[in-house]
Amino acid sequence: MQNNYPTESHNDPTITTVSHLHKHEMQNNEKATENTCLTSNNSQTYFADEKIHIPEIENGFFSFKKLWAFTGPGFLMSIAYLDPGNIESDLQSGVAAKYKLLWVLLSATILGLVMQRLSARLGVVTGLHLAEICYRQYKKIPRIILWIMIEIAIIGSDMQEVIGTAIALSLLTNKAIPIWGGVLITVIDTFTFLLLDKYGLRKLELFFGFLIAVMAFTFGYEYVVSAPPQDQVISGMFIPWYKDYDRNMLIKAVGIVGAVIMPHNLYLHSALVKVRKEQRV
């Protein structure tokens, strides 16, 4: 059943906002139960009141404008692969094993990209994000167990982000900011980023795209200047190394996997793709 609700216009012609009155009506009329079928309910989605218009392509030619309309969620997701937790775990792994754990990083990255692709396809095909799918498909007890497991996994992965940011701030300020001070700054910084929501999803995506471009340039420059031995880098990426593994190496390898594959990214990715307003056949 299709609901025709009035919308509010913005200065940006690519965004359509559902009025709050009818949004409340939609929430009342479409309450989910355990037996609810797989139908889209955009009122429950993050940034659900924004719809990114997808421009049509004439004559089937490639369009950068249409590509840009779909690129935003990728920017928000890719930041998870360049966050302080990844950098901190990679630095520790490099100190402990040189280039010999690069194959773990490469494998975890490929696995993470596959899972992100599946998450995005889930949101596009079903019109529901991962949390809504779990809500509809599982009973109450499995949902609670899943929620507890996900919370523990998120806490474990975010610990690396907080510690990594604190270490970075301490190093950049020549230890003028202690580790505990960096942790407090990171907590405050998290709420600061949450305030960016009010400026709209597209501006948030553009901001994260800018951050990724800056990090890509700086890391690329650092790689060229440091000039690591390419033979060791390539062998470390494609030849699994098991010799002389100890408990410390195992912890570093697990830390790499945990820093790359984060469960909250899967939930967020499946939700963000829902805000693209496209024609369905």
pLDDT at 268 over 70: yes
E strands present in the chain: 7-9, 15-18, 50-53, 276-277
pTM of the predicted structure, to 2 decimals: 0.68
Dist CA 255 CA 95 (whole Å)? 14
The pLDDT confidence band at residue 52, using thresholds 50, 70 and 90, is low
pLDDT at 169 over 80: yes
pLDDT above 90 covers a percentage of the chain that reads: 8
Contacts with 241 (C-beta within 8 Å, 6 or more apart), sequence order = 97, 100, 101, 103
Name the residue with higher pLDDT: 46 or 193: 193
Name the residue with higher pLDDT: 144 or 281: 144
| Model pLDDT, residue 145 | 93
- Do residues 103 and 241 touch, judged by C-beta distance below 8 A? yes
Mean predicted lDDT score pLDDT of the chain: 76
Q: Which of 38, 8, 9, 44 is nearest to 26 (CA)?
A: 44
pLDDT at 23 over 50: no
* Alpha helices for 98-197 (secondary structure H): 102-126, 130-137, 140-172, 179-194
**The token pair that represents 118 in the structure block:** 């599946």
- Do residues 99 and 252 touch, judged by C-beta distance below 8 A? no
| Model pLDDT, residue 53 | 67
SS3 for 127? coil
Name the residue with higher pLDDT: 18 or 147: 147
Q: Summarize the confidence of residues 2-25 as an average pLDDT.
A: 44
Q: 69-128: per-residue pLDDT in tens?
A: 777 777 777 777 777 777 878 888 888 888 888 999 999 989 988 998 898 888 888 888
The pLDDT confidence band at residue 47, using thresholds 50, 70 and 90, is low
| Model pLDDT, residue 25 | 41
Dist CA 36 CA 132 (whole Å)? 10
Q: Summarize the confidence of residues 240-247 as an average pLDDT.
A: 75
